[in-house]
Structure 1
Amino acid sequence: MGKAGKLQTIMRHPVKSFSGESVQSVEVKSYGVYGDRSHAFMDETRPGKYLTATQAPGMIGYSAVFKGEEKEEEFPEILIKTPEGTRYSWQDNLLKEEMERLSGRKVKPVKYSPSHVPIGAIEEENILIVTLSSLKKMEELIGKRIDHRRFRANLVLDLEEDIPFQEETWYGKKLVFKEVELKVERPCERCSIINIDPEENRITPEMLKNIYKYRDNIFGVYASVKRTGRLSRGEAFSLV
């Protein structure tokens, strides 16, 4: 059970469809990375559905970060920054009003607890993973730099063997870190959210077209949490 690679980047998105934050270390809970998509806006025009950047691409231009230590009983306060630099707290009704203007829909803010964030809020599985090898290969194929934040992964892995897309052969296998164990479940089928440039907050339709063209619309893999614990950047993992 040799070293398969190391953990390059940890990302979490405290608010669903907002830009997230890169963290040095994080607690991995049964639902995934602590606080990931723990806050969201329900789309009142589509009962039971979340408002996402698919309906309102401008959401990607808003950033959300936790301010304070991770607590078991409740999430820390969130600091939200708009593209124009305005700062809001999650409780600020002006934020809700801004989301309604941005989307043209009635919305309702929801906040989950640290003990339970539903799968639908996170996405379709607990953890989303991409690799540097696959990112570099896609950059070669399309001839331009790709910001990994487009793919909204929780973990970016640096592999020992620099073989692109090898993660698509891992289904049913486990990634074993120092404390955490993840089981790779299935591929991530992409949607139009990857067309949104996370730096400039503009639409670049060629990104999804290229993922269709070169990867049959698959990029990255979903994993479930089999053992919880602390996860840190630079940590090695093995593949079982």
Structure 2
Amino acid sequence: MQVSGLWRYPVKSLAGESLSTLDVSDWGPHGDRRWMVVDHRGQFLSQRQLPQMCRLHARQIDGGIILEDLSSGDSLPVMQPTGSHNMVVVWQDRCSAVDGGDEAARWLSRRLGVEVRLCYMADDFHRQVDTAYAQRGDRVSFADGFPFLLCLQQSVDALSEGYGKPLAMARFRPNLVVDGAPPFAERQWQQLRIGDVIFDVVKPCTRCAIPTIDPQTGEREKAVFSLLREHCSEGKNIIFGQNVIQRAQGRITLGDDVEVLA
């Protein structure tokens, strides 16, 4: 098996960037989901409420990010902010963050049709991964709960076959895409070595409605939900992909070998 895709999402729920190499830090993927869009209360917003977020792209640059409107081509550089810390909320976690400034807020609000702010997770803040699945000290940025999401290409191919047309991997928002195993084999994995980095496979990813959103249009496709319900149900939940946690820092490159250790 080999790594066939590497993805980073600088801003939670915005379109991500495909990479040839990915640095693994104590946060997980370097630069992944350190930024987040929030409402006036500091509550996180995502494609669940605003599916049009998928048409906005974020790309990391030295010292900040570039926001891009995929429909118009307009862009805005936003530098990493400094200043006072505010509390924002992602799921049940209250996190320390720095506001990204009025210009970024106006740019995003105009395109999303609601008043929003952009914030950046403070460097010195530690958000603990759920210790039911992780070790004490494992941290995560503004991702839903875990630093990495892994998807298997053959599992997406199997869903595409059932759907009757290709489903874009971008719907599932993985960081790591692995190629070369039978469909849904990832459900049996417990530990992997990817390049020189060892990962614990800790929990299947419980899916919300985001995979039903066409990343090219922002439109919801109910038939995709029915497909996932048919092929990926576990009790009352839909699962697809695996949440994994790094056990070392390092670098992963497209084409790296993937070895199942357990």
Query: Which bracket does the TM-score occupy, shorter chain normalised?
Result: 0.7 to 0.9
Structure 1 counterpart of 2:64, from 77, 94, 109: 77
Distance 1:136 1:189 in 2: 19
Structure 2 counterpart of 1:195, from 212, 215, 225: 212
Distance 1:103 1:77 in 2: 21
Q: How far did residue 85 of structure 1 move? A: 1.4
The answer to whether the 8 Å contact 2:32/2:141 transfers is: no
Equivalence for 2:240: 219
The answer to whether the 8 Å contact 2:9/2:16 transfers is: yes
The answer to whether the 8 Å contact 1:191/1:208 transfers is: no
Matched, 1:8 2:29: no
Distance 2:112 2:75 in 1: 19
Q: Find the residue that maps to 1:176 and give its secondary structure.
A: strand
The answer to whether the 8 Å contact 1:31/1:116 transfers is: no
Asked which structure has the greater RCO (Cα within 8 Å, sep 6+), the reply is 1
Gaps of 5+ in 1: 69-75
Letter in 2 for 1:229: G
Go from structure 1 to structure 2 and tell me whether the alpha carbon gap of 1:182 and 1:232 turns closer, same or farther (over 3 Å shift): same
Equivalence for 2:137: none
Letter in 2 for 1:167: E
| Deviations 1:193-219 (CA, angstroms, capped at 9, x unpaired) | 112111233222221221112211111
Structure 2 counterpart of 1:29, from 25, 40, 44: 25
Q: How far did residue 13 of structure 1 move? A: 0.4
| Deviations 1:153-192 (CA, angstroms, capped at 9, x unpaired) | 0011012xx411011111xx21112321110001111111
Go from structure 1 to structure 2 and tell me whether the alpha carbon gap of 1:35 and 1:65 turns closer, same or farther (over 3 Å shift): same
Q: Find the residue that maps to 2:225 and give its secondary structure.
A: helix
Q: Find the residue that maps to 1:85 and give its secondary structure.
A: coil
After TM superposition, the structure 1 stretch with the greater mean CA deviation from structure 2, 226-235 or 207-216, is 207-216
Letter in 2 for 1:194: P
Between Structure 1 and Structure 2, how many residues are aligned?
223
Letter in 2 for 1:78: I
TM-score using structure 2 length: 0.78
Q: How far did residue 21 of structure 1 move? A: 0.4
The answer to whether the 8 Å contact 2:27/2:141 transfers is: no
Distance 1:21 1:207 in 2: 24
Equivalence for 2:97: none
The answer to whether the 8 Å contact 1:25/1:230 transfers is: yes
Equivalence for 2:47: 53
Q: Find the residue that maps to 2:247 and give its secondary structure.
A: strand
- Give aligned-pair identity as a percent: 26
Q: How far did residue 77 of structure 1 move? A: 2.5
Equivalence for 1:93: 102
The answer to whether the 8 Å contact 1:126/1:223 transfers is: yes
Gaps of 5+ in 2: 79-99, 128-139
| Deviations 1:98-134 (CA, angstroms, capped at 9, x unpaired) | 4335556543321135676743611211100100110
Distance 1:33 1:14 in 2: 10
Matched, 1:166 2:185: yes
Q: Considering only aligned residues, what root-mean-square deviation do their CA atoms show, in Å?
A: 2.0
Equivalence for 1:72: none
After TM superposition, the structure 1 stretch with the greater mean CA deviation from structure 2, 57-66 or 85-94, is 85-94
The answer to whether the 8 Å contact 1:195/1:207 transfers is: yes
Q: Find the residue that maps to 2:15 and give its secondary structure.
A: coil
Equivalence for 1:111: 120
1:126-141 to 2 correspondences below 5 Å: 126-141=147-162
Distance 2:245 2:253 in 1: 18
Distance 2:179 2:125 in 1: 30
Go from structure 1 to structure 2 and tell me whether the alpha carbon gap of 1:237 and 1:14 turns closer, same or farther (over 3 Å shift): same
